[in-house]
Structure 1
Amino acid sequence: MRQLLLLVSFLLISTLCQAQSKGKWIELFNGKDLKDWAIKITGHPLNDNYGNTFRVEDKKLVVRYDQYQAFDEQYGHIFYKKPFSAYLLVVEYRFVGDQVKGGPGWAIRNSGAMLHGQDPKTMGLQQDFPISLEMQLLGGDGKHERHTANLCTPGTNVVLDGKLFTPHCIDSNSKTYAGAQWVHAEALVLGDSLVKHIVEGDTVLTYTKPQIGGGNVIHVDPAVKKDGQLIKEGYISLQSESHPVEFRRVSLFDLSPYMNKPKQLAAVLRQLQTRK
């Protein structure tokens, strides 16, 4: 019996190791440059990094506004070079400094990681946000409760608690993170089925069936905004919304090899959940 249990344990470990070897961690941000990223800022053509908004400083991907006279609704996004369908995204971020002149009040200590976004090549010149699911990243102001890893939906809808959710944003149940502390946030995205927002190891928001629909995005090409279409994959981007923010880690574990193998997917997710 003992030998049989040892054999079963060995086979389980072997299966998990094989599964892990098929998937892989991808460092989307390499700590050196932005060569794997595309930039789209409202009112500027693709890859015009107006005001040197997105840059690398001290091995961090940072958003700065020191070359702006005023914000003037020049919302920006920096997109990783390829789309993904199923993954665990990890970002570590913090807010620093003061909001640039002209930034809207709601955008103080506000950024986001955009999930399942449209191809930046399909965005209009004056389009403000990509059609996407926004894991909204908020910093506390030291006075009020302010959750992070919320959901906002530019050009999208989701199913929440079994019902189609059409308002623009909903708060997570996360803690408030004030000051310039680093925050560890994750998004588990499984194609067009399930999305979870996770902060410091705690799941703070869960929704399903991401789909194109609703408003809260302007100057979008109607041929791209096909309302009701489920979103199976898309681009990941990080925001510039008028407050300086820094990212010291942007990593992704590709789960697409396991999407048709439920047992392996469950094993890999358990392993990822218990990682140090």
Structure 2
Amino acid sequence: MMTTTYKFILVALVACSVVLSACNSKPKTQQKAEKSGEEWIQLFNGKDLNDWQVKFKGEVLGENYNNTFRVEDGLLRVSYQNWEEWNGKFGHLFYKDEFSHYRLRVEYRFIGEQAKNGPGWAFRNNGLMIHGQSAESMELDQDFPTSIEVQLLGGVTGQGERSTMNLCTPGTNVILNGELWEQHCTDSKSKTQYDDEWVSVEVEVHGGEVIRHFVDGEEVLSYEKPQLDPRDQYFEKLLPADGNEIISGGTISIQAESHGTDFRKIELLILEE
């Protein structure tokens, strides 16, 4: 006959086994976050842009030209409602802090029509600018922050394929497949995200080492050694005193490039170095 004490021990062992099995089935990043007590940081709080800085080409820092970046219905919106037509004023919205090792998770969609006379390449185009220079260090008429751009693109049903979570390199280079990669934009292997559907993407950043792009949990692109491009006009200005061209951290910003975009989630998980 099984004693009461033996029954208690057996039940406890089974319970522990179930808990351990559940923990081991979780993604390693989630396990690490739970063990370390770290939590996802909500960069966008769903209420306001108090933690963000605006910089438009040709405008002083903080000037939200035509109220392009706004919060409506709990969404962070890039809106061209108040624009008569596109005039070349590229905009960027910078988060207040800088980061080095992290996962950045974003949910976005493209909406409405492109601003009148917007460039063809900017149709349904936005970007997550990571490892960027500070908003304060940008020149008055600078188009884009020196950064690694995780390019967000949208397709239209019936108009062919168009990948998202691509790589663009304003003022930078990377190592791709073991070689210095100086091509400005490189397509990922993602599927086309059509029309106004919401898209969930992630970027996994390990300082100046590896960066990986994900769409709906699937890795679609990876590269290494993000670095300043000596050919760029701002290279000397941004090169640190020790002459190290590798970029190991920096700002995070989103773009305003002539097409309306909604963001309903922008969150970040700090990773161990």
User: 147, 172, 178: which one pairs with 2:163?
Assistant: 147
Name the structure 2 match of 1:239. 255
CA contact (8 A) 1:77 1:240 kept: yes
**Partner residue in 2 for 1:269:** none
> Secondary structure in 2 aligned to 1:47?
coil
Deviation at 1:22, TM superposition (A): 4.0
Higher-Rg structure is 2
How do residues 117-266 of structure 1 correspond to structure 2 at under 5 angstroms? 117-142=132-157, 143-213=159-229, 220=234, 222-224=236-238, 229-255=245-271, 258-259=272-273
Greater alpha carbon shift after TM alignment, 236-245 vs 225-234: 225-234
The residue that corresponds to 1:45 in the other structure is 60
Deviations 1:18-59 (A, max 9, x none): 864342210000000000000111110111000001000110
List aligned pairs for 1:65-80, cutoff 5 A: 65-80=80-95
State how far apart, in whole Å, the 1-side matches of 2:228 and 2:75 are.
32
Structure 2 letter corresponding to 1:63: V
Q: TM-score under structure 1 normalisation?
A: 0.84
Identity %: 47
* CA positional deviation for 1:228: 6.2
- Selected match of 1:87 from 102, 114, 118: 102
> Which residue matches 2:4?
none
Q: For the Cα contact (< 8 Å) 1:135–1:152, is it kept in 2?
A: yes
The answer as to whether partners of 1:155 and 1:225 remain within 8 angstroms in 2 is no
Q: Which amino acid aligns with 1:230?
A: I
Cross-structure match for 1:267: none
The 3-state SS of whatever aligns with 1:205 is: strand
Structure 2 vs 1, CA of residues 66 and 17 (structure 1 numbering), >3 Å: closer, same or farther? closer
Which residue identity lines up with residue 40 of structure 2 in the other structure?
Answer: W
User: What is the CA-CA distance between 1:102 and the residue it aligns to?
Assistant: 2.1
Structure 1 residues 17 and 82, CA, compared in 2 at 3 Å: closer, same or farther?
closer
Tell me the distance in 1 between the aligned counterparts of 2:33 and 2:222: 29
Q: Are the structure 2 counterparts of residues 242 and 188 from structure 1 closer, same or farther at C-alpha, using a change threshold of 3 Å?
A: same
Aligned residue type for 2:237: A
TM-fit CA distance, 1:71: 1.5
Contact 2:43–2:95 under 8 Å retained in 1: yes
Which residue of 2 is the match for residue 98 of structure 1? 113
CA contact (8 A) 2:55 2:91 kept: yes
The code of the aligned residue for 2:174 comes to: V
Taking a change above 3 Å as real, the CA distance of residues 17 and 157 of structure 1, as seen in their structure-2 partners, is closer
Take 2:174 and 2:37, find their aligned partners in 1: how far apart are those partners?
30
Gaps of 5+ in 1: 260-276
Q: Residue deviations 1:159-192, cap 9 Å, x none?
A: 0000000010000000001110000010000000
Aligned to 1:271: none
* Aligned residue in 2 for 1:272: none
Instruction: Answer whether contact 2:125 2:259 (CA < 8 A) is retained.
Output: yes
1:223 partner SS = helix
- Residues 17 and 197 (structure 1 numbering): CA distance in 2 closer, same or farther, change over 3 Å? closer
CA contact (8 A) 2:102 2:268 kept: yes
1: CA distance, partners of 2:98 / 2:204: 15
Residue segments in structure 2 that go unaligned for 5+ positions in a row = 1-9, 25-30
CA shift, 1:79, in A, is 0.5
- Corresponding residue of 1:64: 79
Q: Distance in 2 between matches of 1:128 and 1:186?
A: 25
Shift of residue 67, structure 1, vs aligned partner: 1.3
Residues in 1 aligned to 2:236 and 2:136: alpha-carbon distance in whole angstroms: 15
Between Structure 1 and Structure 2, how many residues are aligned? Answer: 250
Output the CA distance in 2 between the equivalents of 1:67 and 1:91: 26
